[in-house]
Structure 1
């Protein structure tokens, strides 16, 4: 059925549910497992020459945060007896990075969380999960 499962993570509690579901599914199917987290690009500003934080310091902090997020997924997979490849990428739009990564790695299922926004907040804030669903050709299992 599914041979390669991708689990995007943003380190939130709701994502932990998707991680557990993705790992259980990978174990049951004997599928290859990978995880990805997307780092924010440096917020350059044309208005000011002075940045609130030096670029390298920002990049280092983003990488540290990203590595901690994927390490949690790798550790959970390891506890279940599975190997998990971890990836961190920088992108202005996480959904694009997830879709591109799934395609590049030949993933045939994405397991990700829904933050459950509804109404105006969903309209204004949008949802990375919704964008992945709309733009991805790979099946997406949404965990609430």
Structure 2
């Protein structure tokens, strides 16, 4: 039924659970599994040219974090006998990067974690999962 599944990861425990579910689905359907970690762009300041962290150091740290998240997801999938392609991408909005990547790679399912924030926390922090659900026409499986 599914040919290509995308599972974004932010390194959290709930994302790891989503990776496990995505790997099970990929194995069941003989689908290709992709994982994606979104890196934050450098926070340029309009007020001053002085930055607490040099841009290259920031980029390197973001790449190390994103790559570690992807490698952990790949290892978890491979432990279930499923090969997993890993990707990192820089984006201002993670939800846009997830949708764009899914379309570019021809994914027909996105498996995402939901952190279950409610009330003010949900309002202030937003929900990348909710934004993906709102803005994509692809199927999305939400793991809680």
Whole-angstrom CA distance in 1 between matches of 2:83 and 2:12: 22
Query: Residue 37 of structure 1 aligns with which residue?
Result: 37
**1:114-133 matched pairs, under 5 angstroms:** 114-133=114-133
Is 1:19 aligned to 2:29, yes or no? no
Q: Secondary structure at the match of 1:66?
A: helix
Unaligned runs of 5+ in 1: none
What TM-score results when the alignment is normalised by the length of structure 2?
Answer: 0.98
**1:95-110 matched pairs, under 5 angstroms:** 95-110=95-110
Is 1:71 aligned to 2:71, yes or no? yes
Q: How far is the alpha carbon of 1:102 from its aligned partner?
A: 0.3
Unaligned runs of 5+ in 2: none
Is 1:139 aligned to 2:139, yes or no? yes
**1:85-104 matched pairs, under 5 angstroms:** 85-104=85-104
Q: How far is the alpha carbon of 1:88 from its aligned partner?
A: 0.1
Q: Deviations over 1:37-66 (max 9, x none)?
A: 000000000101110000000000000000
Q: Deviations over 1:96-136 (max 9, x none)?
A: 00000000000000001000011222122110000000001
Corresponding pairs, count: 144
What TM-score results when the alignment is normalised by the length of structure 1?
Answer: 0.98
